[in-house]
Amino acid sequence: MIRFEHVSKLYDGKIQALEDVSFQVNQGEFVYIVGPSGAGKTTLLKLMDKQENLTTGSLQMGSMLVERIRPSQTYILRRQIGIVLQRDLFIPYLNVAENISYSLAALGVNDPQQQQIKTQKVLTAVGMTAYQKRLPAELSVGQRKKIAIARALINQPPILLADEPTANLDAKSAVEIMRLFFKFNLGGMTVMIATHDSTIVNSLRHRVLELQKGKIVRDEDNGKYSTNSDSKDIYIW
Binding site for ligand ATP (CB under 6 A): 11-12, 15, 17, 35, 37-43
Taking the least distance from each CB to ligand ATP, the nearer of 42 and 115 is 42
Taking the least distance from each CB to Mg ion, the nearer of 53 and 124 is 53
**Interface with Mg ion includes 42 (CB under 5 A)?**
yes
Q: From Mg ion, ligand ATP, none, which one binds at residue 206 (CB under 5 to 8 Å depending on kind)? A: none
Minimal distance, residue 33 CB to ligand ATP, in Å: 8
Minimal distance, residue 130 CB to ligand ATP, in Å: 32
Within 166-195, the residues that bind Mg ion by CB under 5 A are none
Buried-exposed string 175-188: b where 16+ CB fall within 10 A, e elsewhere: ebbbebbeebbeee
Task: Name every residue whose Cβ is closer than 8 Å to that of residue 51 and which is 6 or more positions away in sequence.
Answer: none
> In 3D, which of 75, 51, 61, 25 has the Cα closest to residue 192?
25
Taking the least distance from each CB to ligand ATP, the nearer of 17 and 149 is 17
| DSSP assignments along the chain, one per residue | -EEEEEEEEEETTTEEEEEEEEEEE-TT-EEEEE-STTSSHHHHHHHHTTSS--SEEEEEETTEEGGG--GGGHHHHHTTEEEE-SS----TTS-HHHHHHHHHHHTT---HHHHHHHHHHHHHHTT-GGGTTS-GGGS-HHHHHHHHHHHHTTT--SEEEEESTTTT--HHHHHHHHHHHHHHHHTT-EEEEE---HHHHHHS-EEEEEEETTEEEEEEEEE-S-SS--GGG----
Q: From Mg ion, ligand ATP, none, which one binds at residue 142 (CB under 5 to 8 Å depending on kind)? A: none
x-or-dash string of contact with Mg ion, 1-40, rule CB under 5 A:
----------------------------------------
Taking the least distance from each CB to ligand ATP, the nearer of 35 and 136 is 35
Minimal distance, residue 226 CB to ligand ATP, in Å: 14
Minimal distance, residue 64 CB to Mg ion, in Å: 24
Minimal distance, residue 141 CB to ligand ATP, in Å: 17
What phi and psi values does residue 128 have, to the nearest 5 degrees?
A: -125, 20
Q: From Mg ion, ligand ATP, none, which one binds at residue 150 (CB under 5 to 8 Å depending on kind)? A: none
**Interface with Mg ion includes 103 (CB under 5 A)?**
no
Minimal distance, residue 34 CB to ligand ATP, in Å: 9
Taking the least distance from each CB to Mg ion, the nearer of 123 and 214 is 214
Taking the least distance from each CB to Mg ion, the nearer of 178 and 194 is 194
Q: What residues line the site for Mg ion (CB under 5 A)?
A: 41-42
